[in-house]
Amino acid sequence: MSEPAIIRPDKQTFLAEENPFEAMMERFDHAAKLLNLDRGLYKVLRNPEKQIIVSVPILRDNGEVEVYTGYRVLYNTSRGPAKGGIRFDLNVTLEEVKALAAWMTWKCALVNIPFGGSKGGVVCDPSTMSMGELERVTRRYTSSIIEVLGPDSDVPAPDVNTNERVMAWIMDTYSMHKRHTVTAVVTGKPVEMGGSLGRREATGRGCMIVTREALAKLGMSFKGARIAVQGFGNVGSIAADLMAKAGAVIVAVSDKSTALYNPKGLDVQELLKWVKERRQLAGYTKAETISHEQVLTVDCEVLIPAATENVITRKNAPHIKAKIICEGANG
């Protein structure tokens, strides 16, 4: 009979205020205890298989050399090639990337997808970079981690501040190194380059469907339901758009630049056009500007955290008025 896992002593902690990896591991410890997980497996699963830290030097448009830091973590590949997104953000840390890679491992296993988990990121601010600079960062980062990439080893995907175009650059860079086209090295690439139909909308559409069914379960109408969306990237913007088209009222949205509120409902189509032209919500004047913290606590039936992990804390949780929280973000 296998020996049970050795679980760290229970302690009162508050996940969002801790190291992201330790916060994730605390949840893992709780699950391992419930599962009576084998002690050997427990030890293996508490440690990532591979952690890569790289320097990403590029030439800026003004002629200055800038050096960014990049990470790629392969957490576990027991079930198959590692799978996980790449984010470009100033808040990227190794501990965050490790936590996200672990969550990818658990998610793939839970839904029985034959992949392991990974995650990556570059510490940078895409809002201050030109398209050419973003391309140079992407290609240099890809070249620096290329030894772990591949359809049979590690397959990246879009995440915070990365999209189909970034995936195309990664695929092209990898293919140049391999001397032939390798479309399967990334997911989330343009349909014209072998991407999947509906992939871009999948997560946001999933949020819409889950929210609709949850409201029905509680005997509440989707039409007219007030919804607050934290994050207006690929997930949040699409979820807001689909929900508004289905009759819900989007009362609040936010991105890194600002947060907007209108109790009568925001014009999501107008916001999408605004962001497409300006790359951020800041400057939009047809709504009340509120704090990022207030987005989580406005009067609404549904709250959708679709930005980054661990935004709900012991401090703001008592003030959340939503009856349903639909998690659009990792963690």
Beta bridge partners of 52: 72
Sheet strand arrangement including 154-158:
50-59, 65-76, 116-122, 82-88, 154-158
* The predicted structure's pLDDT at residue 272: 95
How confident is the model over 164-189, as pLDDT tens digits? Answer: 999 999 999 999 999 999 999 999 99
Distances in Å between the alpha carbon of 139 and those of 82, 84, 95, 131, 276? 20, 18, 24, 12, 24
Determine the average pLDDT of the residues in 316-321: 92
pLDDT of residue 270: 95
Tokens of 106: 């658990």
196 DSSP 8-state letter: P
Higher pLDDT, 252 or 277: 252
Tell me what the mean pLDDT of segment 286-313 comes to. 90
11 pLDDT more than 50: no
Phi, psi of 181 (to 5 degrees): -70, 130
Q: Is the pLDDT of residue 271 over 70?
A: yes
Confidence of residue 17 (pLDDT cuts 50, 70, 90): low
Could you tell me the pTM of the whole model? 0.82
Mean pLDDT in residue range 258-283: 93
Q: 5-14, 77-86, 303-312 — which is least confidently predicted?
A: 5-14
Average pLDDT, the chain: 92
The span from the CA of 13 to the CA of 317, in Å, is: 15
- Given phi > 0 = left and psi -120 to 50 = alpha, else beta, which region is 65? beta
Domain positions in the chain are 1-46, 48-193, 200-325
In angstroms, rounded to a whole number, what is the distance separating the alpha carbons of residues 311 and 317? Answer: 10
Give dist(CA 249, CA 331) in Å, integer.
Answer: 26
Task: Assess whether pLDDT exceeds 90 at residue 278.
Answer: no
pLDDT > 70: percent of the chain? 94
* Angstrom distance (rounded) from CA 101 to CA 90: 18
* Per-residue pLDDT, 269: 96
Q: Coil, helix or strand for 293?
A: helix
Highest mean pLDDT among 25-29, 152-156, 280-284: 152-156
- The pLDDT confidence band at residue 329, using thresholds 50, 70 and 90, is confident
Alpha helices in the chain (DSSP H): 20-35, 39-45, 94-110, 131-144, 164-178, 199-217, 234-245, 268-278, 292-295
Q: Do domains 48-193 and 200-325 have the same CATH topology?
A: yes
CATH fold for the domain made of 48-193: Rossmann fold (3.40.50)
For 9-19, what is the mean pLDDT?
A: 49
Token digits of residue 108: 């793939």
Return the minimum-mean-pLDDT range out of 5-9, 69-73, 234-238, 250-254: 5-9
Percent of the chain with pLDDT over 90: 82
More confident position, 14 or 225: 225
Q: Which residues are catalytic?
A: 119
pLDDT at residue 18 in the model: 66
d(CA 223, CA 184): 40
20 pLDDT exceeds 80? yes
**CATH fold of 200-325, please?**
Rossmann fold (3.40.50)
User: From its phi and psi, is residue 187 left (phi > 0), alpha (psi between -120 and 50) or beta?
Assistant: beta
Rounded (10°) CA dihedral 79, 77, 56, 234: 30
How high is the pLDDT of residue 331? 63
What pLDDT does residue 4 have? Answer: 45
